[in-house]
Structure 1
């Protein structure tokens, strides 16, 4: 597999899968590797993940979660992939417990889910929340193992509902992440070409970035095929909301203090921030960049290192300006492709959120209308 290491020394981008894991996520725990107490708990978590939609439909989810008891040291006994899976399952259960549609609000997460969610998140250096990294990047399987990460070959591992709309919504994002892989690898080659003044490398990299972003937009344009806006807004989007004053029971480190976390959001993806950084699309020191910085606390450190390495890379725009001709045209094609992706994304947020709910904020706490419009106009302004 074509992977490239960033200048930071610890950030890897897969040319085939981008920020998706190079080894597909676990579909269940291998309980044979653990002692009986841990195995029993992990089996319970697998069962709850499978039965989550039925438990929510029958108003049985909260009692089932409240009855869970996590063995001491369970997180420490897990492999890295198992830790990711427990983070995924406990994140879904926590959001389902807090946001259980049709039932009264609650102000806590029971110990059996709160402790493993917190401890897994600490081990993975992330926020203890169902953020984009686990909701999408670690929540997929292939329908046919030998085939690629095409949209029609993807399915989810955990869902809140049985609606195809939910699975389609998530797999569209996963397919976009996969389609970003060649473009992200090309961003690295672009910087190498600029450093070494290799114009053929620069041109080829820009053309690959353009193709990748255009493909991502094509996938985004398929969102409406199996995701009805009303089903999205009413049936499963509420589960992506953040936590506002929620106590993580049993987590000694939090000392019973209510916690506040943003919900999972596509704004937490690092694909476009990486491309922005590589191309030199600068959104300026404004309230927008402060908001983007706040979102970064929900993004994996190893992925942030990729963005950081691009931000510290060579200045692409002056090089392209001096090069003129086909290199400048290819650069402008890239900028216009990024702007078009943002235009399509903005249209979808209006169709799926604003028109359905009237909400001005996304699940990640973003004032999405102003946020996305500013990103789009800033991007367009960077054509040469």
Structure 2
């Protein structure tokens, strides 16, 4: 890829093996983004009713006519979806329609009508994704680019938004640019993991040094959020629609959302909403560095109930949200998990100059990832914590108003769109990242 440090390669054969592996897991030259721009429309005219509502979604949400429009259309079959790109496009469309319907009234709708729920369940089953607006729906498969390089943030634009604002398009585009920017480091770190098997310290050191640089670039992209996304617009016009149905009782969904499968079977679902925690790139970096996360992401009350009640093991948030990633990507992460981590080698006792150099490079890369998470917390403070303290007027009940009207007025009470206890979760995740760089020697 032009303008980018090329992946490490001691031999062409090994490099080719890496790219074959990545291809098998649908990891493209753009990383976890697709090889080409996602479809901007379903090709078959049969799906015009879906596409027409999506075209007018911002205005329908503004006029609160979205539910009437959805209730007017019938249940469309998924039989005319053929390629994976079409299934992905349908997932994007139905994600936006579903969240628009749920959050597009004075109160949240606890019932998703068959016109959305039936095809949404079918599309989700095909893609092995939950029927909710995931990071894949909002970011990975929801962009267009006016140039060939998806890293160029200024040329990216979201295909769809809830608010119709440039702020929302920019919010999604920052994540897309970050995914593209981090793509080159994936084969590089795979080679570093392989190098741990025969203690090729030089290869590992070069990879870790590149990783530190890459994380710095990701952080600089994240810092550009302020350029075109206003915190108050994000908090009040965008964030409410990203919320899922898990831990959303105060926002009007005590039981989650009721789905119908088309055969008369009704099922309540409590699902996490779109969250950057669902980024496969960031989890990949955690895996190769050996960063371990333990938080379930629940509220203080939820975690207290878990510790006092059942002995059943509760998966960490990072483990749970892999089910919200595209199936090939979570399979890739599982594959990489089986390769071990650089931390295992960095923690071993030894005294050679190269091993000590490798340890320092490892610690520098881990610190860079912790600093990146610290930057993310600063963004969260500006875009969520500060706006939540400003009381707003209006009858609409959603994630923003529920947070702003919290009687306890505490950061601890704020819930993320992914259903996490926001600040405690982010702090723990950051601290666990820094902790990975503090190594207990192993023989």
Instruction: Give 3-state SS (helix, strand or coil) of 1:236's partner.
Output: helix
Residue aligning to 2:225: 223
Q: Deviations over 1:82-118 (max 9, x none)?
A: 11101101110010011015x3332212222211211
Kindly tell me: are residues 339 and 75 of structure 1, through their superposed partners in 2, closer, same or farther at Cα, counting changes over 3 Å? Answer: farther
Instruction: Give 3-state SS (helix, strand or coil) of 1:108's partner.
Output: coil
Q: Distance in 1 between matches of 2:164 and 2:295?
A: 42
Kindly tell me: are residues 7 and 195 of structure 1, through their superposed partners in 2, closer, same or farther at Cα, counting changes over 3 Å? Answer: farther
One of 37, 46, 65 as aligned partner of 1:24: 37
Instruction: Give 3-state SS (helix, strand or coil) of 1:13's partner.
Output: coil
The alignment status of 1:278 with 2:304, answered yes or no, reads no
Residue aligning to 1:263: 273
* Larger proportion of helix: 1
Q: Distance in 1 between matches of 2:222 and 2:338?
A: 30
Residue aligning to 2:129: 126
Residue aligning to 1:46: 51
Q: CA RMSD in A?
A: 2.3
Contact 1:95 1:240 in 2 (8 A): yes
Kindly tell me: are residues 222 and 53 of structure 1, through their superposed partners in 2, closer, same or farther at Cα, counting changes over 3 Å? Answer: same
Contact 1:183 1:213 in 2 (8 A): no
Contact 1:130 1:264 in 2 (8 A): yes
Kindly tell me: are residues 13 and 105 of structure 1, through their superposed partners in 2, closer, same or farther at Cα, counting changes over 3 Å? Answer: closer
Residue aligning to 1:376: 430
Instruction: Give 3-state SS (helix, strand or coil) of 2:118's partner.
Output: helix
Contact 1:87 1:116 in 2 (8 A): no
Q: Distance in 1 between matches of 2:154 and 2:221?
A: 11
Segment drifting more, 242-251 vs 121-130: 242-251
The alignment status of 1:327 with 2:330, answered yes or no, reads no
Contact 1:183 1:211 in 2 (8 A): no
Structure 1 position 132, deviation (Å): 1.1
Q: Deviations over 1:157-205 (max 9, x none)?
A: 1111121111111111111111121122222111122224333321222
Q: Distance in 2 between matches of 1:6 and 1:188?
A: 12
One of 110, 113, 116 as aligned partner of 2:113: 110
Structure 1 position 261, deviation (Å): 1.3
Residue aligning to 2:336: 310
Instruction: Give 3-state SS (helix, strand or coil) of 1:247's partner.
Output: strand
One of 56, 64, 67 as aligned partner of 1:62: 67
Q: Distance in 2 between matches of 1:267 and 1:51?
A: 29
Contact 1:13 1:184 in 2 (8 A): no
Kindly tell me: are residues 9 and 47 of structure 1, through their superposed partners in 2, closer, same or farther at Cα, counting changes over 3 Å? Answer: closer
Structure 1 position 76, deviation (Å): 5.7
Contact 1:88 1:130 in 2 (8 A): yes
Kindly tell me: are residues 314 and 62 of structure 1, through their superposed partners in 2, closer, same or farther at Cα, counting changes over 3 Å? Answer: closer
Q: TM-score, normalised by structure 1?
A: 0.89
Instruction: Give 3-state SS (helix, strand or coil) of 1:273's partner.
Output: helix
Residue aligning to 2:11: none
Q: Distance in 2 between matches of 1:10 and 1:236?
A: 35
Contact 1:115 1:250 in 2 (8 A): yes
Kindly tell me: are residues 308 and 77 of structure 1, through their superposed partners in 2, closer, same or farther at Cα, counting changes over 3 Å? Answer: closer
Residue aligning to 2:27: 13
Q: TM-score, normalised by structure 2?
A: 0.78
Residue aligning to 2:378: 347
Segment drifting more, 115-124 vs 356-365: 356-365
Kindly tell me: are residues 134 and 200 of structure 1, through their superposed partners in 2, closer, same or farther at Cα, counting changes over 3 Å? Answer: same
Structure 1 position 19, deviation (Å): 1.0
* Structure 1 unaligned spans of 5+: 32-38
Structure 1 position 239, deviation (Å): 0.3
Residue aligning to 1:99: 103
Contact 1:168 1:227 in 2 (8 A): yes
Instruction: Tell me which structure has the larger Cα radius of gyration.
Output: 2
Instruction: Give 3-state SS (helix, strand or coil) of 1:155's partner.
Output: strand
Residue aligning to 2:400: none
The alignment status of 1:290 with 2:316, answered yes or no, reads yes
Q: Distance in 2 between matches of 1:267 and 1:316?
A: 22
Contact 1:6 1:309 in 2 (8 A): no
Q: Deviations over 1:22-76 (max 9, x none)?
A: 2321011222xxxxxxx23x1222222221112222222111111122333x246
Aligned residues: 370
